[in-house]
Amino acid sequence: MIFSTGVYLESLGNLFGFGDINLGLFGIPFTIFCVVGVMNAFNMMDGINGLCSGCAMLALILIGFYSGFIYDSMLVLIIGSTLGFIIFNLGFLGKKRGVFLGDSGSNLIGFWVAWIAVYASQNQNYFIEPITMLWFISIPLLDCIGLIFSRIKKGLSWSTAGRDHIHHKLMKRFSSRQTLIIILAITFITGLFGIFIEIIASSVVSSILFLTYAMMYYVLMGFVKTKTFN
C-alpha cells in the first residue's frame, strides 16, 4: 500500500510545541510498525461478538465525518460491509445466520482502520491531526499496550491468551451485551472528545490529555498499581 499510493506517516504533527515532527524516510518502517500494531490491537479486542467490528466501525465513522473522507466511496463500502457483518454477528436476523471474524477478519478490520487513519492524517485534502487518530482507537490501542507490558512483566509471552482484557474485566459485573454497549459508548465519547480538543486546542494539549487519559485507564484497569497510605 505504501509503494502503490506513496502515502505513509511523514509527519506526526506538532506534538511537543516545537514544530511538526517530520519523519522523512523513517516514516516508512514506522508506518509499517504502526499498522501492524493496530491490526494486532483489534485482533486482541475480538473477545465478544460485535466488539472488534463495532470499535472499528465507530473509528471509521468518526474519521470519515470529521475529515470529510466519508465522501470517498471506498470508505462508505467498508463501513457498510462492517455494519452488515455486525448485524449478523450479533444475531439480529436470527442465531442461525451468525457469522464470525476469526483472526483473518479481525486483522483485516484492523488494517482498514490503520490505513484509513494514516491516509486521512497525511493527505492535504483532509484536515485532521495524527494525534486525534489515537483518540478514535484509544480502547483497542491502550488495552493492547497494557496487556503486552503486563504479560511481559509476569514472565509470559505477550501473545499468550488470557482473560485480562477490558471486556473480560467488565464481564465480571455485566453481561456480554452490556459490556459491548459500555465499551462502544466509551469509544464513541472518547473519539468525540478528541475531535473537540483538536477544534479548541493544539496538538500539544491533545497529546498531554491523551497521556493523562492513558494513565487513568491503566490505573482503573489494574495495569498500574497505586500505593495507598494509612
**Quick check: 50 and 90 in contact, CB under 8 A?**
yes
Q: Among 18-32, 82-96, 105-119, name the one with the lowest average pLDDT.
A: 82-96
- So where are the chain's domains? 2-220
Q: Is residue 224 pLDDT above 60, yes or no?
A: no
| Predicted pLDDT of residue 227 | 47
Pairwise CA distance, residues 72 & 150, whole Å: 39
Q: Tell me the whole-structure pTM to 2 decimals.
A: 0.88
CA-to-CA distance for 18 and 33, rounded, in angstroms? 25
144-180: per-residue pLDDT in tens? Answer: 998 888 888 877 777 776 677 888 889 989 999 999 9
112-127 average pLDDT score = 88
What is the spatial distance between Cα 127 and Cα 122, in angstroms, rounded to a whole number? 9
Choose among 24, 39, 206, 23: nearest CA to 115: 39
Q: Is the pLDDT of residue 190 over 90?
A: yes
pLDDT in tens, 96-115: 566 778 888 899 999 999 99
| Range scoring the smallest mean pLDDT among 37-41, 167-171, 212-216 | 167-171
Class of residue 194 by CB neighbours under 10 A (exposed 0-12, middle 13-18, buried 19+): buried
List the single range of 11-15, 94-98, 124-128, 214-218 with lowest mean pLDDT: 94-98
User: Mean pLDDT throughout 14-35?
Assistant: 90
C-alpha cell at 216: 487513568
Q: Can you list the positions of beta strands (E) in the chain? A: none
Check pLDDT > 90 for residue 138: yes
